[in-house]
Structure 1
Amino acid sequence: MEDESIRQLLSYSDAPGEIRRQLLRLSSCCFIIPSYRHKDPILSRNLIPGSDLSVTHRLHKLSVSISTQIRSLFSRKQMEASSVDSQADSSLLKEFYIPTYVLVPESEAVNVPDVPQCPVLVFINSKSGGQLGGDLLVTYRSVLNDSQVFDLGVETPDKVLRRIYMNIERLKSGGDDFAAKIQEKLKIIVAGGDGTAGWLLGVVCDLKFPHPPPIATVPLGTGNNLPFAFGWGKKNPGTDRQSVISFLKEVMKAKEMKIDNWHILMRMKTPKDGSCDPIAPLELPHSLHAVHRVSSSDEFNMEGYTTFRGGFWNYFSLGMDAQVSYAFHSERKLHPEKFKNQLTNQSTYAKLGCTQGWFCASVFQSDSRIASLAKVKVMKRLGHWEDLSISNGIRSIVCLNLPSFSGGLNPWGTPSTWKRRDRDLTAPFVDDGRIEVVGFRDAWHGLVLLAPKGHGTRLAQAHRIRFEFHKGAADHTFMRIDGEPWKQPLPVDDDTVVVEISHLGQVNILATNDCRSRSMSDPSTPSHHAHDEEDRDSDEEDSVQGEEFRKFGAADTFKMPDEFDISHLS
């Protein structure tokens, strides 16, 4: 063994006493050992006066023996430490484990002595993050019950939750207290992009559970705005066992937060010859679905109109930024093999921003001005619509609920005291029933967000906003909900396309200590603006009644059997 290696081993403060004694014994004579490497025995004897070759042989054998003992002792220590870690991991993972009989109907019940502290259901988009989604699926299934980890590419979350909650209700009706406690403590983990996270949030809202499970989001997309807003980071996670266990620990420690959810209604006249083309259902985000029933109080309740309803949690955007996102989305669908990692995705996104004219929109997109595309109205006070003035330079509008957009940027920022007083603006809270409306001229304007206190053009804060598209300079525009874009046809004659966004309710989400979002209901968050409860009340004249308004449409398959007692779920 080299004398340098011995010195390194001696530096380990946690080395067992026996190892250190052997090392000290060896180090006292290690100055002789290098001479043994010389082939000339005379040289060896000359290097150490009074020594002979047999002594050197014995010293070498001693060093080999001690080295073997050292390796054996260290190996045993590492195995013992690994065993301790493994036992600790197993003990921890029991706190997340759900028995199969709770998850799968008709399974044989088992007696479980202790209720897990943090039972979880895990939903993973295996197609997200290149190969990461599939790898993450394998790891979660290896550390938890295979029956509590689901691939969203195989089974939709509404079907899964419907099946599990119905089974839990059946067990509860039979006196199973363990199943009841699982339901009380249940949490959901969703791994995917912002669109995937929004899908799960929409499903949980639509199912209207008596105690909706809070949701933790694993960043597995390109922007990862939702996870970043609540402290889960924006870089794709590790997929190894220890990374997954570390994330589960964070889920156990996370706090619950309420955030607003927003209803979006999009209505257009049913296409005829010479009118705008219909939207293919597959082109729409998960949370936006066609409905056929409308309220009798709805001003557009007439034959010949198609209505889409849905919801979002982070943002709705219109214009050039959505166009770049759509180009990226389309390219990824055509060539998925080119989008295997987050860095490549972000680089491609930036290139598309240039080719789509987002950096020089005045040259390439003369018809992209929002003012020429739509008439915009906002409702700041109950029952009072007012026109929102949009300058000609604005080519993108973002309706923002969370302080995380385009990879974690905050377009609204925090208005100064005099701006709040002069324009009746507030700091952005995620549960105040208001949405922030921000405008951008081009990508260069967006780069201002990278500077301290940078922000876009603050247009309004409102409880509702309406876009009315009439025949104009363009036959289509681009829209985006929580990271999922689509190409929206616009009227080419006297038809009208209406998009209206309104506050719907709230949902529970899990946040870490690094959470960037501010909550009015959180005592640790200072509130700069007393929330006007009157603004939350729905006005009978303006409200849209009916179940299709109360739902996002994300769980359109959710329907209880006739013989099932629905009161158990409501």
Structure 2
Amino acid sequence: MVKRQDTIESHMSTDDPEDSCPQEQEVVPVASASNVDWSSTAQPNTHLFQQSNLGEEPCQLGSDCQHSKAMRMKCSVCKIVAHEGCAPRIQKSLPCKISFITADRDYRSHTNVGHHWIHRKKIKGKCRHCSKGFKSLGLFCSWCKLAYHNSEVCKEAADKDEICGLGIHASLIVPSTWILKLNRNGFIESSINLDKEKINSDRTDYSINFMIKPVPVSNCHPLIVFLNPKSGGNQGVKLMQRFQSLLNPRQVFDLTKGGPGPAIEMFRHVPGVRFLACGGDGTAGWVLSVLDKIKVEPTPPVGVLPLGTGNDLSRHLGWGGGYMDESISDILIGIQSAEVISMDRWKLATTPNKEIAPTEEKGQDLPPLDVVNNYFSMGVDALIALQFHEAREANPQKFNSRIKNKMYYGQAGGKDLIGPKWKKLSEYVTLECDGQDMTAKLKEQKVHSILFLNISSFGSGTRPWNRANGAQKLDDGIIEVIGLTTYTLPLLQAGGHGSCICQCKTAKITTTKTIPVQVDGEAVRLNPCTIELSLLNKAKMLAKKKSNKSGGGLDYELEEVDIEVRSLTFKDYETHHLDKESLLQKSQVVGNIKADIGCDLTRARGLISRIMPGTSDWQFCDTITARNAFRITKGGEGKHFLIDICLNQLFVVSSSGEGPTATGPADYNQSNNEVATTAQDETTPNFHLTMSSLREGCGLLEKTSEGILKAARLGDLELLTTLHAEGYSLLSIDETAKTALHYGARFGHKEVIRYLVQKAPQCIVDMTDNEKGQSALHKAAAYRRRDICCMLIAAGASLLIQDKEGRIPHELVEEEDTELKSYLESQKQFQEVAMQDMETAL
């Protein structure tokens, strides 16, 4: 599991001058270089070089540069600068940060993301080791943005800092260890030789070449970013480079390269996933419509970064009326703390009226969209939107900024407001709301536009609905109907309101003339027809909180699913492991289990043992990762989750002979908290228990679990307490004999430490790993966890234990931290005196 450590903000270079979008003339993107490679030949650490005119940063090769007069290039991901001729050498000597790993049967053994250190001339913030500022070249991690001086002492500290915590945006980042590139065109090596004739086809679709394997973590919300480069004066290209730098570049997608569908399909099973639509209101609607078609459950929330002209949905959700070169890091912090709310979405069912004689004005039989997120209108306002669209299509170079776009709206609006063309709109329209005829009211108000408003904002921030006529809510299943005239339309900009017709749950509009209509800013001329408007569904949206500093809003409950367990004989598996359909046909249902998607296979074996108590001689079969099915070894079960190997059908394979059969209850629900302890055989890992003298009497007959260690690494107290309540040992250790207390101390999780010293056997405080021979107090001292040092000492941790290099805890404290060093030395003296008194008494 990726270590999501709490970083010290004072050491972070979050005020990177490049965090705001650079001016348009400074960066010119190279064609086809701004998007990552998803083909079968993709490499995990390829730079995304762009042409750059920024001359301050030196070429990364320094004195070895041989192309000083050539064009300068800059990687949009790690910000390395190189001349065009130096770029190939840079790629070999200092590749970019790794964005994915190569899949094999043991892919879960790749648990950590390492730092990606680069030399950088200008670094803001302070050195992680000595807490001093930077005056010259330093080491900078392109993942977490931590920095160290280039001095010998600080570089040595950087070498020890092996695991990257991914920085302040860790909860939004898709770690490289979650993205697997499949070998052999979609196959993974199996213990059974693969038929080469069946795998020789070449596949380049990234949905086939790549697989997402998330680790279910309750405080993690991976953010998938969609950008429309054509929105808001072509800001999308520059924003893509910033998102690629702050996140994993493989979670940032250009909507012009196939739309949002492939990416949504790829990340649909990632727990807690969120989507960010960067563009106009139409871009957000596009993402929501694709989510409708793919039917992702549970529905992930969608945020909006406004790049369009009106941006009314963004305004309503609190993200503002347009992106104005704000810090992308600040925007991501806002996404991290955003509130998930529901939003009504409305369906338009249109039936053309063929009985009306055709007119000279040509139109279409269907509206531009059949789903309303923001508003649906007809009349003069739609005509203005239509004319703007036609003008932009004819001369796109004249509409490359939000200000120019609004100027056109003002000019076009003035012409049509003066003209009398749509003053008789109510003569061509009849309106029914919830079965009641409202046509007379339209004629009474002499409306020139009819607006069905789902959100509060319309026309670049105006508020047409008067709340005195009823509260306007986003999720009440009611839409507001408003009449607008040539008089009230301009007054909206001054805070005025339209004529509030009614609020309704359904509406029926019949037209007898070709009339301009618009749906969420998309406009057409619509031939005579009947339009029925009704509630379609409710979408999940991300609304900005007034304060972004709370960091809240990230917790969510892991989904509990009903999983059908099916058994296979080894012979059937051996014969059909390349054909999943045949595996399904040959398998037999043995029962059902209920488990959350965060359940690892060790726990799942306990659940399955309740419906198959007669045998444990079987293995899990992964049927979703690759084109072939393959088995998970018993020794690897603790590293994998149910979400890794199945969706709603779980396959188990007999190790030999006949397949497992159900001899117990047909169903078992994990919520009963009665997970059975499975028999340990020769292939089940014993976590390398080498400290036998210390472990005697410490309760090691309890069940061990990798989950205990993962909870401690992540600071997930709820998961830790749940596992402990289910009988899993707080003394669980990994292959290096580190305990949960080691990991809690290493990553500074105080609540985890407090729980462990209260609930675990006393021996845990002095257990040492077999890698460095260090106790949890050694880790806390080395990583300057002052409060945790106090907690461990109060719990009885020894300050006299030596690690493999003969160092006691206070000797691992950096010299600059005199306060912590003095405290540990004084506590060591107290312990020495106490031991002498005890020996004297004896």
- 2:458 maps to a residue whose letter is F
- Aligned equivalent of 1:127, options 224, 230, 249: 230
Q: CA deviation at 1:255?
A: 0.4
One-letter amino acid of the counterpart of residue 463, structure 1: K
Equivalence for 1:455:
497
Q: Distance in 2 between matches of 1:215 and 1:126?
A: 19
Q: 2:376 matched to 1:316?
A: yes
1:76 and 2:160 aligned: no
Whether the aligned pair in 2 keeps the contact of 1:256 and 1:508 (CA below 8 Å) is yes
Match of 1:234 among 305, 321, 329: 321
Letter of the structure 2 residue corresponding to residue 262 of structure 1 = W
Q: 1:386 aligns with which of 437, 444, 453?
A: 437
* Match runs of 1:469-508 below 5 Å: 469-470=511-512, 475-490=513-528, 497-508=529-540
Partner of 1:439: 483
Distance 1:110 1:377 in 2: 51
2:377 and 2:296 map into 1 onto residues whose CA distance is 30
Take 1:341 and 1:75, find their aligned partners in 2: how far apart are those partners?
39
Shift of 1:455: 1.2
Contact preservation (8 Å) 1:104, 1:147: no
Match of 2:470 in 1: 426
1:216-240 Cα deviation digits (max 9, x unpaired): 001000000010001000122427x
Runs of 4+ in 1 over 4 A off after TM superposition: 77-85, 102-106, 108-116, 269-281, 565-568
Counterpart Cα distance in 1 of 2:136 and 2:305: 32
Return the offset for 1:86. Answer: 2.4
Equivalent residues in 2 for 1:61-72 (5 A)? none
Any conservation in 1 of the 2:364–2:526 contact (CA below 8 Å)? no
Partner amino acid for 1:350? G
Indicate conservation of the 8 Å contact 1:97/1:116, yes or no: no
In structure 2, relative to structure 1, the CA distance for the partners of 1:97 and 1:435 (3 Å cut) is same
What is the identity percentage for the equivalent residue pairs of Structure 1 and Structure 2?
27
CA distance in 2, matches of 1:276, 1:207: 41
Partner SS, residue 167 of structure 2: helix
> Deviation of residue 504 (structure 1)?
2.0
Match status 1:351 vs 2:454 = no
- Residue 124 of structure 2 corresponds to none
Counterpart CA distance in 2 for 1:111 and 1:414 is 45
Name the CA distance, whole Å, in 2 between partners of 1:319 and 1:132: 31
Root-mean-square deviation over aligned CA pairs: 3.6
Closer/same/farther in 2, CA of residues 407 and 109 from structure 1, 3 Å limit: closer
Deviation at 1:75, TM superposition (A): 7.6
Give the whole-Å Cα distance in 2 for the aligned partners of 1:112 and 1:342.
Answer: 41
CA distance in 1, matches of 2:648, 2:261: 19
CA distance in 2, matches of 1:566, 1:499: 40
Change (3 A) 1:349 1:258: same
Count of residue pairs the alignment pairs up: 377
Give the corresponding residue for 2:429: 374
Which protein has the bigger helix share?
1
The one of 535, 545, 551 equivalent to 1:513 is 545
Residue equivalent to 1:189: 276
The secondary structure found in structure 1 opposite 2:497 is coil
Determine the C-alpha separation between the residues in 2 that align with 1:76 and 1:158. Answer: 45
Cα deviation digits, residues 171-194 of structure 1 (max 9, x gap): xxxxxxxxxxxx221100001111
Q: Does 1:91 align with 2:178?
A: no
* Other structure's SS at 1:141 match: helix
User: Which amino acid is 1:86 matched to?
Assistant: K
The SS at the match of 1:433 is: coil
- 1:331 matched to 2:391: yes
One-letter amino acid of the structure 2 residue matched with residue 469 of structure 1: T
Matched, 1:466 2:525: no
* Alpha-carbon distance change, 334 to 217 in structure 1, aligned in 2, over 3 angstroms: same
Structure 1 unaligned residues grouped into runs of 5+: 1-73, 169-182, 289-309, 416-424, 491-496, 516-560
Distance in 1 (CA, whole Å) between partners of 2:133 and 2:442 is: 70
Query: In structure 1, how many angstroms separate the alpha carbons of the residues matched to 2:438 and 2:250?
Result: 52
Counterpart secondary structure, 1:439: strand
The two structures have a TM-score, normalised by structure 2, of 0.41
* Contact 1:230–1:514 (Cα < 8 Å) also in 2: no
Where 1:398 maps in the other structure, the secondary structure is strand
Identify the residue that residue 202 of structure 1 maps to in structure 2: 289
The unaligned stretches of length 5 or more in structure 2 are 1-131, 148-164, 182-205, 548-626, 628-645, 650-842
SS of 1:86's partner is coil
Cα contact 2:278–2:306 (8 A) shared by 1: yes
Of 309, 312, 317, which residue of structure 2 is paired with 1:222?
A: 309
Q: Which structure 2 residues correspond to residues 547-566 of structure 1 after superposition, within 5 A?
A: none
Q: Distance in 1 between matches of 2:494 and 2:220?
A: 43
Q: What pairs with 1:520-535 in structure 2 (closer than 5 Å)?
A: none
Aligned-pair distance for 1:205? 2.9
Equivalences for residues 295-310 of structure 1 within 5 A = 310=370
Matched, 1:100 2:166: no
CA contact (8 A) 1:319 1:368 kept: no
Whether the aligned pair in 1 keeps the contact of 2:350 and 2:531 (CA below 8 Å) is: yes
What is the CA–CA distance in structure 2 between the aligned matches of 1:481 and 1:150, rounded to whole Å? Answer: 25
Distance 1:111 1:505 in 2: 28
Q: How big is the shift at 1:100?
A: 2.3
Structure 2 counterpart of 1:76, one-letter code: F
Deviation string for 1:24-80 (max 9, x for gaps)? Answer: xxxxxxxxxxxxxxxxxxxxxxxxxxxxxxxxxxxxxxxxxxxxxxxxxx9835877
Letter of the aligned partner of 1:192 in structure 2? G
What is the identity, as a one-letter code, of the residue corresponding to 2:374? N
Q: How does 1:43-62 map to 2 (within 5 A)?
A: none
Deviation at 1:129, TM superposition (A): 1.3
Helix, strand or coil for the counterpart of 1:155? coil
State the 1:158 CA deviation: 2.5
Task: Please give the alpha-carbon distance, in whole angstroms, between the structure 1 residues aligned to 2:537 and 2:357.
Answer: 39
Q: Whole-Å Cα distance in 2 between the matches of residues 131 and 111 of structure 1? A: 33
Match runs of 1:379-418 below 5 Å: 379=434, 384-388=435-439, 389-391=441-443, 393-415=446-468
Structure 1 residue 108, shift from structure 2 partner: 7.6
Shift of 1:110: 8.2
1:327 Cα deviation from its structure 2 partner: 0.4
**Change in CA separation of 1:108 and 1:448 when aligned onto 2, cut-off 3 Å:** closer
Partner of 1:63: none
Partner deviation per Cα, 1:297-352 (whole Å, 9 max, x = no partner): xxxxxxxxxxxxx2111100110000001001110111110111111110111111
State whether residues 227 and 253 of structure 2, in contact with CA within 8 Å, keep that contact through their aligned partners in structure 1. yes
Amino acid at match of 1:439: G
For residues 108 and 481 of structure 1, what CA distance do their matches in structure 2 show? Answer: 36
**Secondary structure of 2:352's aligned partner:** strand
Q: CA deviation at 1:93?
A: 3.3
Structure 2 distance, partners of 1:271, 1:149, is 49
Greater relative contact order (Cα 8 A, min sep 6): structure 1 or 2? 1
The structure 2 residue matched to 1:262, chosen from 343, 346, 352, is 346
SS of residue matched to 1:261: strand
DSSP 3-state at the match of 1:216: strand
The Cα of 1:97 is off from its aligned counterpart by 1.8
Alpha-carbon separation, structure 1, partners of 2:288 and 2:214: 32
Q: Secondary structure at the match of 1:326?
A: helix
| Contact 1:220/1:237 (8 A) holds in 2 | no
SS at match of 1:93: helix
1:155: which partner in 2? Answer: 258
Aligned equivalent of 2:402, options 334, 337, 342: 342
